[in-house]
């Protein structure tokens, strides 16, 4: 599986389309991922039409991949279909609650990653857009998602038109814990982040932003407390609106 080891996120795609038969085949295989009680608590909305991409783009902060990729996939946590089935079968569904949202989110994200691996194995490139849960309310309106359906991940898909460098990753010892969590001392933190901080591109990033440390680029510019709190509010409101609030 050198494929996974050598993968890179692709943000620039060729004009070439992705055949619907291939896409369906990859999605069908992706649905082999583990799913809670075999309930398959997800749906996938496939966006190909330029006008739909144009509507979605602002919800993803106009990242160019949305309009630039032949296919945009929105993976949704979905308890609607299952609940409708229950109601059609004299059964009263009890999935309008927070744990059900997380169960469906888990199902949806496992399938998302499975799809990404399969797509890359077939020569496609993907980009995972973390912005999906920043503007879920707007995505819900555009894709007409009913109650008990929440968008949780967006993937842009197409044939790669670039081969970017692989980003660095933290050393294994920074992530793994034997038997129980060994919390990090300041010395651990220094060691774990040393390589990341020493990279010329990261140092450049600090200097062009007039910051003192790389961490400040994250806290002061990229992922700010005020933004996170605002988006947490939107997310909670949207969960309520979609009926996952009990």
- Binding to its own copies (CB under 8 A): which residues in 12-71? 24, 27-34, 36-40, 42-49, 52
State the residue for tokens 């842009």: 156
Query: Quick count: other Cβ atoms within 10 Å of Cβ 221?
Result: 11
Give the whole-angstrom CA distance, residue 140 versus residue 213: 38
| Cα radius of gyration (the chain) | 20
Q: Considering the complex, what minimum distance in angstroms separates the CB of residue 195 from its own copies?
A: 13
Q: Pick the piece of the chain touching its own copies (CB under 8 A) from 11-19, 61-69, 73-81, 156-164.
A: 73-81
Per-residue DSSP letter, 184: P
Give the whole-angstrom CA distance, residue 196 versus residue 223: 18
Number of residues near its own copies (by CB under 8 A): 116
Site string for its own copies, 102-121 (x = CB under 8 A): xx-xx--xx-xxx-xxx--x
Q: Considering the complex, what minimum distance in angstroms separates the CB of residue 198 from its own copies?
A: 13
Residue 225, interface with its own copies (CB under 8 A)? yes
Q: Considering the complex, what minimum distance in angstroms separates the CB of residue 40 from its own copies?
A: 6
Give the whole-angstrom CA distance, residue 110 versus residue 222: 26
Residue 234 φ/ψ, nearest 5 degrees: -60, -45
Site string for its own copies, 171-190 (x = CB under 8 A): -x-xxxxxxxx-xx-x--xx
Which of 57, 63, 137, 235 binds its own copies (CB under 8 A)? It is 235
Q: Considering the complex, what minimum distance in angstroms separates the CB of residue 161 from its own copies?
A: 19
Give the whole-angstrom CA distance, residue 153 versus residue 130: 7
- Do the beta carbons of residue 112 and residue 155 sit within 8 Å? yes
Q: Considering the complex, what minimum distance in angstroms separates the CB of residue 68 from its own copies?
A: 17
Residue 154, interface with its own copies (CB under 8 A)? no
């Amino acid at each position: 599986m050198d494929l996974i080891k050598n993968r890179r996120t692709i943000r620039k795609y060729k004009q070439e389309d992705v055949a619907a038969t291939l896409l369906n085949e990859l999605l069908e295989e992706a649905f082999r991922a583990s799913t809670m009680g075999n309930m398959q608590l997800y749906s996938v909305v496939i966006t190909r039409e330029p006008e739909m991409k144009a509507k979605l783009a602002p919800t993803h902060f106009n990242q160019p991949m949305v309009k630039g990729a032949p296919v945009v996939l929105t993976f949704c946590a979905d308890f609607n279909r299952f609940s409708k089935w229950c109601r059609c079968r004299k059964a009263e569904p009890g999935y309008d609650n927070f744990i059900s949202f997380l169960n469906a989110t888990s199902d949806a994200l496992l399938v998302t990653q499975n799809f990404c691996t399969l797509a890359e194995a077939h020569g496609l490139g993907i980009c995972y857009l973390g912005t999906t849960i920043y503007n879920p309310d707007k995505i819900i309106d555009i894709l007409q998602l009913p109650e008990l359906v929440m968008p949780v991940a967006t993937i842009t898909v197409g044939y790669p038109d670039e081969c970017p460098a692989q980003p660095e990753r933290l050393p294994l010892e920074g992530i793994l814990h034997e038997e129980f969590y060994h919390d990090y001392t300041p010395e651990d933190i220094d060691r774990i982040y040393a390589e990341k901080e020493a990279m010329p591109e990261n140092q450049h990033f600090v200097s062009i932003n007039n910051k003192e440390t790389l961490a400040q680029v994250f806290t002061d510019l990229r992922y700010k407390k005020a933004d996170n709190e605002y988006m947490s509010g939107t997310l909670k409101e949207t969960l309520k609106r979609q009926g996952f609030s009990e």
